[in-house]
Amino acid sequence: MCMHDEAATHYIDMIDQTTMGHRFLKEEFGVTPRIGWQIDPFGHSAVQAYLLGSEVGFDSLFFGRIDYQDRAKRKNEKSLEVIWQGSKSLGSSAQIFAGAFPENYEPPAGFYFEVNDNSPIVQDNIDLFDYNVQDRVNDFVAAAVSQANITRTNHIMWTMGTDFKYQYANSWFRQLDKLIHYVNKDGRVNALYSTPSIYTDAKYATKETWPLKTDDFFPYADRENAYWTGYFTSRPAFKYYVRLMSGYYLAAKQLELFKGRMNSGPNTDSLADALAIAQHHDGVSGTEKQHVANDYSKRLSIGYKEAEQLVASSLACLVESASFTGCQNPVTKFQQCPLMNISYCPPSEVDLNQGKNLVIVVYNSLGWRRNEVVRIPVSNEDVIVYDSEGKEIVSQLLPQAEVYASLRNYHVMAYLGETPAKAPKYWLAFTVSVPPLGFSTYRVSAAKGTVAGPTRSSVYTYQTSETSKIEVGQGNLRLTFPPNQEKFTNYVNTRNSVEEQIKQSYLYYSGYNGTDDEVPQNSGAYVFRPNSTYLLKHERQVPLTVMRGPLLDEVHQQINPWIYQITRLQKEKEHVEVEFTVGPIPIDDGIGKEVVTRISTSMETNKSFYTDSNGRDFIKRIRDYRSDWDLEVNQPIAGNYYPINLGIYVKDNSTEFSVLVDRSVGGSSLADGEIELMVHRRLLLDDSKGVAEALNETVCVFDDCKGLIIQGKVYYRIDPLGEGAKWRRTVGQEIYSPLLLAFSEQDGDDWINSHILTYSGIDSNYRLPDNVAIITLQELDGGKVLLRLAHLYEIDEDKDLSAMASVELKKLFPRKKIKEVKEMSLSANQERTDMERKRLEWKVEGSFGSVDERVLRGGLVDPEELSVELGPMEIRTFIVYFESESDIKPFDV
Amino acid sequence: MCMHDEAATHYIDMIDQTTMGHRFLKEEFGVTPRIGWQIDPFGHSAVQAYLLGSEVGFDSLFFGRIDYQDRAKRKNEKSLEVIWQGSKSLGSSAQIFAGAFPENYEPPAGFYFEVNDNSPIVQDNIDLFDYNVQDRVNDFVAAAVSQANITRTNHIMWTMGTDFKYQYANSWFRQLDKLIHYVNKDGRVNALYSTPSIYTDAKYATKETWPLKTDDFFPYADRENAYWTGYFTSRPAFKYYVRLMSGYYLAAKQLELFKGRMNSGPNTDSLADALAIAQHHDGVSGTEKQHVANDYSKRLSIGYKEAEQLVASSLACLVESASFTGCQNPVTKFQQCPLMNISYCPPSEVDLNQGKNLVIVVYNSLGWRRNEVVRIPVSNEDVIVYDSEGKEIVSQLLPQAEVYASLRNYHVMAYLGETPAKAPKYWLAFTVSVPPLGFSTYRVSAAKGTVAGPTRSSVYTYQTSETSKIEVGQGNLRLTFPPNQEKFTNYVNTRNSVEEQIKQSYLYYSGYNGTDDEVPQNSGAYVFRPNSTYLLKHERQVPLTVMRGPLLDEVHQQINPWIYQITRLQKEKEHVEVEFTVGPIPIDDGIGKEVVTRISTSMETNKSFYTDSNGRDFIKRIRDYRSDWDLEVNQPIAGNYYPINLGIYVKDNSTEFSVLVDRSVGGSSLADGEIELMVHRRLLLDDSKGVAEALNETVCVFDDCKGLIIQGKVYYRIDPLGEGAKWRRTVGQEIYSPLLLAFSEQDGDDWINSHILTYSGIDSNYRLPDNVAIITLQELDGGKVLLRLAHLYEIDEDKDLSAMASVELKKLFPRKKIKEVKEMSLSANQERTDMERKRLEWKVEGSFGSVDERVLRGGLVDPEELSVELGPMEIRTFIVYFESESDIKPFDV
């Protein structure tokens, strides 16, 4: 549906939007595209090459933007065109012929033919003064020879056009027609209207060998001081919105399938459309103008609203299934709380003292059971929580931080146009346990009249002095904060004896204003160009606020007037959750700022760190180093930034230190043992790369605007060496697919008698292996189902889980009988066997026969067994056909 | 053929180009245009209104650019639309409805629909987020009402487009279609695709009265400090080339008629085309880019080359007419010398000592006999000149100034690509007498062997000391130069006792570089924005060189290293001719300069001066004053500059001081008694008005370029009050139509026996009245002739000559019999009677019946008498049909 970004996009979104586009092309035009055409994105990802390239069946992948130093070297070595193996797990089994153009995606200089362009047209009327056929032919041949000199084989490609061209196509084609005619008449070169496919076939036919390329093309700099690493973080709120919607869409499609898809009426189509277009390289990248960003958000919001209805009615059907008779109009009304992050959730804020019960259905879209603490805002002080079996469970009340009340009031007015009711006083936390692809039901009631018991919530809060250490953590993980907040915090995991001194701080980079340059370069929406760095001092006057309880501990810190942070430790988890609220970033000094949080340890990490590629493979990064060329370091900060969608980690001889993120951000390890993430940017100048606006986001109530505030989370953990992957992969998946909460209220407590309280969309005795996720489960036209299974581990990533996994398809559809399963290309527009049969066999330079590869892929699916194997990093896509259309209804158990 | 400029154009060129265009439209499409559409020219002339407006039969005239102060007042008074009477002589008989647009020729703000424009399109798909029909309709209505509030009647016109728009017309019409649809549906205003004609008819139908406008709309400023008066002088060499070609074209058409026009083979068509297009408001105005100026010049050169052949062969036919038998291939070879201004004339430089005779045919395109001194470069020292009757006549040799030799060498190489022969030593001057529309023949021979006589040329030159006065002048006019060249020169005419102290000086203005402005404004191709003034000191070390002789005296002065001046007095003339050579203007100080020559007298001229309108009517100018509004003076120099095509004069109680020019220039009278003319400009910055180049003209020999050198002439004279007009009109016409010299050489002296020596194209006993000129005499298809007669005087301009004049058509065509004469509109695309019948009668505000007008126009032409009357300033256009096609040949006398 768009030429997606490759840095700030999650692989599931990339697959979804590509699937939507490829299936559209197939259905409307019968076309199966052969070529990837990522000419504009600002750097190129490994996932693009191996998943969205090779695994969708492309024969080649072309792009315009690679690092200027890299390009120079590749021109010199005729290595702009390569065989790219983006995944070390899948190796040559998922390689692709890939070509970077010599100059972005420009025509040769002097061959621009837009109405306003200045290139000489071909004047072939010999009676006119500007007759210039031979001149233009000579220019053409010279440009062709020049490019041929940096290209292997005799074939070159010209991209005749660039941004915003062909607004009046005739002005181009008139000239191109003439050029082709006269150049071929001249005969020195042969010119033709071509396509990337024709070009690819011509290259392939030469039987040339090509250099091997691994990893990716990040970060991208188009010149000294212009590192396009700012956009990894630009528009962090929008990036979070996209991520939130992405996880919600995945869950909503499951619920849509369980209920039965309706082509009209609430469905997930609008959300799918909005999410697809938002993956654009000037979309989720944050590099669009403000009004375009607004439009993306509006589309997402519209899509969400419709999906929210679908989710509510699907859950209603599922809880009512005892009385199910078609379920177009279930009576149960569920509400959801998309603004829960600012503690706004009207259904949970209801006054329970009036005899109402709050019913919470918690849906889990993952393939394994989850036990997690959930938090909801409540107004009552004295409540009891019941689980699906009607048992009282332990819960904990945490006072709402004061800053959240103003956040809530301002943003509810800004986004909903209404003044919210009085802010709820508490967060109510309790642990839920939810089956795979299913739900559990919880009930909250006022605890009136009953005596306090072990499960009854109460509040444990106190302010610390500055003179004592504070230890928090009820379980294995303990953090000990020093009296001086500038000093190190002690991190201990008592289970595995990991201990480390860590220090978390906030800093900002001043955005460069470019005035000193010969060619000015500001920091802007695309480019990160820091001027100098400032550490943001903690406000020592403000003591820590610590909340402790049976389920979790929180440490609240007002870092400075515009940064608030909560450090949260769940008793049953061994990671630290940091919730930060950053902004409005002050700009009254006229200086744009880019805010980072930095977590330092004493680990000796040898300049190395690891960042994910679109949330999938981890790629090793080495500070001030590129594997493809001798790096000239011009921007020691910006030039070491990489996109992070899932997480980043460093390791030393004994431990690994991992940080996971809740959205796409830029990050790095600028010193050994240290990880930093850029969480917010507010800039006052344009960086002259096309957006033509300063990245200065605001939120307005009527005409009263203030700088955007970002609330987000990072999660970190220290593991013994070799044990971090399991946490990163499992919790990473849980962050991507948070539990979905739906609220209802009921007088009395007869819910338990009249509703289904737990449910699983798959066989209730089955769960997916720990190393596999269902990344797509979606009903297609005609009742067939699109199923995509992803192995979550790379080769050698985990001693147990980097192994072949197996999924029993029959267990996934317990209520239906599978008639047939077709394995498809990743974008589901052709059968996998067809795709493999057409695959071109490219020759890799220096590779003679035996390659030391241990690629593991699952075998063909036996039509009877219907067991699917998945090797490390393998994603397999199926269309599942069922015996009868009516079987698709999930309720005829 | 183009939207001509209105400042730097001569009225004959304006008429010619308009005639060509109007006749083309008539012949190709049968269309007679009704509207003048001068939307872009930078100020608007009286001649445009009354001649190229009313007299071509236009019903209205529209334009975009008028002074910002004027516009503000007119908006306020609803007087953007007026009845414009451009000529005080023709008054209401040549008025036109004229309208200035509210904002140049822009659409209303927010209604730009070029592909790259930012105005919101009309989104009428209600399903889309940017649906905005009502918003756009409201914007439209608001813009319409806003304009209606400054406009008389309910009709307003929108110019939906501007420069460079409609490159892809669909992008506009798609929006305009929608706007018209929805606005009319809304109903508050009625919108339609209109034309200026429809608009004019609608205005006329209202019977509204309109304010009266006289004079013109010069100078034009679009804002404070942006007076568009630089272009009056910009590209002075090109302006001269256009003027030279204009006069040549007039003569060549006469000779083409006399010989008989050939549709193929040498004719004047190319020159006509080139001249027509050169009148463009970014043509002769000097406001085009350099490569465009080069193209105009190239076209003129090609046209000239062909016309030169035609002139040579026509003259050859005419001199050979005794043996005339069709005259397609006359044997006589005539050469002409377009580079005579730099003393390059190979045919006249021939060595006469080898027995060759130089034959010079001198053609006079005016309707009266001319007696003038001509000068030609010769190599021989000792020559005798013979007239058409074989008599020796007085001649005079003047040594070539040294500076001319280098001028000649450099520019012959630059323009012809060849090194010229050794520079000729002398100018040979002699007086010629030439009949109207005819020629005389002169012969120059070496004076070998004969003794010196009164008619034999010799040289009279000497250098002056600095201590004595120098008196020059052999006739009535005497100039006495003071010993100190900074002091005043005494000017005496002994015939009429006029005496005046005058001082001529050169100054330059530094071009402003705009850095101090809020909105920067440099001096540039359009805008004259002086910074400060510098007087160029005479180099006192260089003594005057004085050359005296029987025919003329010359005073040579090297003003400074880059200004050379010759002051020339012909014995038989009572004016001073100043030939200046200015340039290259030095720019090594990084400052652009605009050079003026200023002639100061002690006359008390009461802030008033008079400048011509396109070489025709004189308009009174008052320093720091506008008749139409209270002028706020922001630019006391640039804001007092006016375009000058013919001349400028000032007067006091007793005398008038007139200066005539050889091309279009800018000029003013910045102090009483003073006249200044800008003769050259060289600037280093663009003025941001569209040309996007600095006006920094150079001349190159291969890659060696130097600043352009301008050679030109001004003529001045002081007359008793009321007596200046006759000189200005007569000599003005002679400057416009210089004598045309054609050279041949012959061994021996039998030319006189074998050739026609004198000729007149009209009846040999007839001459035109002193107050009439033939401004067009041109053969059209089918042997008919286009004849245009112009009265040269305004009402009250001269006590004798501002009277009704009469021309006998029969005498103009002595060799043919007139069958019919049709009086036409000025542009000859309709009969005058048809045009007058259709003329709209507009109501002028405050004019109730009796107007104090003394308009004098000639009566209808009696078809038998064929006598044409012309009132002051009247121009009458005829197509003359002859009895038989063969009668057109002029040679069957």
| CA R_g for chain B | 28
CA B483 to chain centre: 37
Structure pTM?
0.83
Percent of chain A with pLDDT over 70: 94
Residues 351-390 of B with CB under 8 A from A: none
Mean pLDDT, to the nearest integer, of A138-163?
97
Cα gap B338→B346, rounded to integer Å: 11
For B160-215, how does the pLDDT look when each residue is reduced to its tens digit (9 = 90+)? 999 989 988 999 999 999 999 999 999 999 999 999 999 999 999 999 999 999 99
What is the layout of strands, in order, in the sheet containing B81-85?
B35-38, B60-63, B95-100, B81-85, B212-214
For A359-401, how does the pLDDT look when each residue is reduced to its tens digit (9 = 90+)? 999 999 999 999 999 999 999 888 899 999 989 999 999 998 8
| Chain A nearest C-alpha distance from B130 (Å) | 10
- Report yes or no: A249 and A237 within 8 Å, Cβ to Cβ: no
Residues of A in contact with B129 (CB under 8 A): 295, 298-299
pLDDT of residue A466: 64
With vertex at residue A740, the alpha carbon angle to CA A759 and CA A265, rounded to the nearest 5 degrees, is 85
Residues of B in contact with A168 (CB under 8 A): 115, 167-168
Length of chain B, please? 893
| Chain B nearest C-alpha distance from A171 (Å) | 10
pLDDT of residue A201: 98
pLDDT at A494 over 90: yes
pLDDT of residue B453: 62
For B19-47, how does the pLDDT look when each residue is reduced to its tens digit (9 = 90+)? 999 999 999 999 999 999 999 999 999 99
pLDDT of residue B684: 95
Probe site for chain B from A123, A130, A163, A168 (most B CB atoms < 10 A): A168
Mean pLDDT, to the nearest integer, of A437-453?
83
Residues of B in contact with A167 (CB under 8 A): 115-116, 168, 171
Contacts of A183 (CB under 8 A, 6+ apart): A137, A140, A141, A189, A190, A191
Probe site for chain A from B114, B115, B291 (most A CB atoms < 10 A): B115
Residues of A in contact with B293 (CB under 8 A): none
Does A168 touch chain B if contact means CB atoms closer than 8 Å? yes
Instruction: Give per-residue burial for B348-366: e unless 16+ CB within 10 Å, then b.
Output: bbbebeeebbbbbbbbbbb
Cα gap A396→A550, rounded to integer Å: 7
Six-digit token string for B404: 């001319």
For A405-444, how does the pLDDT look when each residue is reduced to its tens digit (9 = 90+)? 889 999 999 999 999 888 898 999 999 999 999 999 999 9
| Chain B nearest C-alpha distance from A54 (Å) | 36
Facing A168 at nearest CB: one of B164, B167, B295: B167
Residues 101-120 of A with CB under 8 A from B: 115-116
Residue type for B313, please?
Answer: S
Q: Which residue of B has its CA nearest to A166?
A: B115
| Chain B nearest C-alpha distance from A298 (Å) | 9
Name residue, tokens 């414009």: B84
Cα gap A619→A67, rounded to integer Å: 18
pLDDT at A698 over 50: yes
pLDDT of residue A884: 74
Mapping DSSP to helix (H, G, I), strand (E, B) and coil, where does residue A136 land?
helix
Q: Which residue of A has its CA nearest to B164?
A: A116
pLDDT of residue A888: 47
Neighbouring CB atoms inside 10 A of A2's CB total: 16
Facing A129 at nearest CB: one of B164, B167, B295: B295
| Chain A nearest C-alpha distance from B173 (Å) | 14
For A615-656, how does the pLDDT look when each residue is reduced to its tens digit (9 = 90+)? 999 999 999 999 999 999 999 999 999 999 999 999 999 999
pLDDT at A21 over 70: yes
For A189-238, how does the pLDDT look when each residue is reduced to its tens digit (9 = 90+)? 999 999 999 999 999 999 999 999 999 999 999 999 999 999 999 999 99
Does B164 touch chain A if contact means CB atoms closer than 8 Å? yes
Residues of A in contact with B164 (CB under 8 A): 116
With vertex at residue B795, the alpha carbon angle to CA B794 and CA B798, rounded to the nearest 5 degrees, is 80
For B503-517, how does the pLDDT look when each residue is reduced to its tens digit (9 = 90+)? 999 999 998 877 767
Residues of B in contact with A116 (CB under 8 A): 116, 164, 167
Facing B168 at nearest CB: one of A115, A295, A299: A115
Kindly compute the dihedral angle of the four CA atoms of residues A432, A433, A439, A444, in this order, to the nearest 10 degrees. Answer: -30
| Chain B nearest C-alpha distance from A709 (Å) | 26
Lowest model confidence (mean pLDDT) among A279-293, B196-210, B312-326, B604-618? B312-326
Residue A548 has φ and ψ, to the nearest 5°, of -120, 160
Q: Is A677 exposed, middle or buried (0-12, 13-18, 19+ CB in 10 A)?
A: buried
Probe site for chain B from A113, A116, A127 (most B CB atoms < 10 A): A116
In the predicted model, what is the mean pLDDT of chain B?
93
* Confidence band of B422 (pLDDT split at 50, 70, 90): confident
pLDDT of residue B890: 47
Facing B168 at nearest CB: one of A129, A167, A299: A167
Count CA within 13 A, CB hemisphere, residue A368.
15
Q: Is A273 exposed, middle or buried (0-12, 13-18, 19+ CB in 10 A)?
A: middle
pLDDT of residue B456: 63
Mean pLDDT, to the nearest integer, of A789-800?
97
Mean pLDDT, to the nearest integer, of B478-482?
91
Length of chain A, please? 893
| Chain A nearest C-alpha distance from B686 (Å) | 19
pLDDT of residue A453: 62
Mean pLDDT, to the nearest integer, of A169-182?
97
Probe site for chain B from A115, A127, A289 (most B CB atoms < 10 A): A115
pLDDT of residue B853: 76
Rounded to the nearest 10 degrees, the angle between the axes of helix B11-29 and helix B269-278 is 110
* Confidence band of A752 (pLDDT split at 50, 70, 90): confident
Bridge partners (DSSP) listed for residue A239: none
Residues 295-314 of A with CB under 8 A from B: 295, 298-299
pLDDT of residue B571: 94
Residues of A in contact with B692 (CB under 8 A): none
Probe site for chain B from A167, A172, A174, A292 (most B CB atoms < 10 A): A167
Residue type for B634, please?
Answer: N
| Chain B nearest C-alpha distance from A413 (Å) | 22
For B534-564, how does the pLDDT look when each residue is reduced to its tens digit (9 = 90+)? 988 766 656 788 888 999 999 999 999 999 9
Contacts of A62 (CB under 8 A, 6+ apart): A35, A36, A37, A38, A39, A98, A99, A100, A101, A157, A196
| Chain B nearest C-alpha distance from A128 (Å) | 11
Distances, alpha carbon A311 to alpha carbons A81, A249, A255, A314, A388, in Å: 47, 10, 6, 5, 20
Percent of chain B with pLDDT over 90: 81
For A770-786, how does the pLDDT look when each residue is reduced to its tens digit (9 = 90+)? 999 999 999 998 889 99
- Report yes or no: B42 and B526 within 8 Å, Cβ to Cβ: yes
pLDDT at B323 over 50: no
pLDDT of residue B353: 85
- Choose from A554-558, A702-706, B713-717 the range with maximum mean pLDDT: B713-717
Does A128 touch chain B if contact means CB atoms closer than 8 Å? no
Q: Which residue of B has its CA nearest to A114?
A: B167
pLDDT of residue B142: 98
Cα gap B196→B39, rounded to integer Å: 12
pLDDT of residue B848: 61
Cα gap B184→A888, rounded to integer Å: 54
For A454-466, how does the pLDDT look when each residue is reduced to its tens digit (9 = 90+)? 666 666 666 666 6
- The interface pTM score, or ipTM, of the predicted complex is 0.74
pLDDT at B893 over 50: no
pLDDT of residue A454: 61
Does B294 touch chain A if contact means CB atoms closer than 8 Å? no
Rounded to the nearest 10 degrees, the angle between the axes of helix A133-148 and helix A170-186 is 80
pLDDT of residue B459: 66
For A94-117, how does the pLDDT look when each residue is reduced to its tens digit (9 = 90+)? 999 999 999 999 999 999 999 889
In the predicted model, what is the mean pLDDT of chain A?
93
Does A193 touch chain B if contact means CB atoms closer than 8 Å? no
Mean pLDDT, to the nearest integer, of A699-724?
95
* Confidence band of B852 (pLDDT split at 50, 70, 90): low
Does B848 touch chain A if contact means CB atoms closer than 8 Å? no
For B565-623, how does the pLDDT look when each residue is reduced to its tens digit (9 = 90+)? 999 999 999 999 999 999 999 999 999 999 999 999 999 999 999 999 999 999 999 99
Cα gap A652→A720, rounded to integer Å: 10
